[in-house]
Every structure is written in structure tokens, then in C-alpha cells.
Amino acid sequence: MSKFTDRLKYADITSLETYQSMIMLFVNPFQLLEASHSHNDSVYILNCATASVLIGIFTIFAIHKDCLGEKKLAAQMHLVLCVVIMCLLIKDLSENPLTELSFYSCQLICSIFCYWRISSECFIRRKK
């Protein structure tokens, strides 16, 4: 089991971070705009769409600068955004399809992995 966790701990996640930022820029806003039409908390959903675009742009700059602190902050913001979106979707579960909930669940799992991976890299660098 330790070999598996070591491989995860030292894996290159730049492509995953880039993929997540592209989802936040080009998929989430349109999906959230569509969801806001049938949702009771449409203002919050629209704010989440705006936050998704801003976090996606911030993530791209953090990847480009290759700064661990900024990457960690971007992963934290993505994690919080996914939790907020999922809470809003669960609140009106009868009106939202489960596909949207599963889509944001996958994003949440990926953001948790990115946050764990970047945090472990920060810890390893501080140890040295």
C-alpha cells in the first residue's frame, strides 16, 4: 500500500490542475447558468458561476507561475466552491438531476486529491 501512496504523493498533477481549471472556465459557468433558471437560490448559483470563472483564471496563473502556495490556495478555493455548489444542489434535490450532483462530486474528489498532493509537496519541501 505504501508504494501506491508514494506514487500518488510524487505524481505530477499539472495536467489534472489544468483540466480542472478548464472545467471551471468553460463548463461550470454554463451549467450553473442553466441550473439557476430552475433553482430557488438562483443568485447564489450565479455567484458560484462567477466564482468558478475567477478561480479557474487564478488556477491557470498559479500553474503558469508554478508557485506551490498559490496552487494550494487555488485547490482550497475549488474545494470550497464544490462544497457550496453541492450543498445548494442537495438543498433542492428534487429539482436537480443526480448527474449534476455526481459531476460536482467528481470535481470535489479531484480537488481534494490536488489539495492533498500539493500539501504533501509543501510538507516535503519544508522538511528538506
Does the residue 2 lie in any domain?
no
| Residue 119 neighbours by CB distance under 10 Å | 14
Average pLDDT on 8-33 reads 90
Does the residue 79 lie in any domain?
yes
pTM of the model: 0.89
- Three-class secondary structure of residue 41 per DSSP: coil
At 11 the pLDDT is 76
Does the residue 40 lie in any domain?
yes
Cα distance between residue 2 and residue 97, in whole Å:
38
Give tens-digit pLDDT for 61-91. 999 998 999 999 999 999 999 999 999 888 8
Q: What domain range includes position 49?
A: 15-127
In total, how many domains does the chain have? Answer: 1
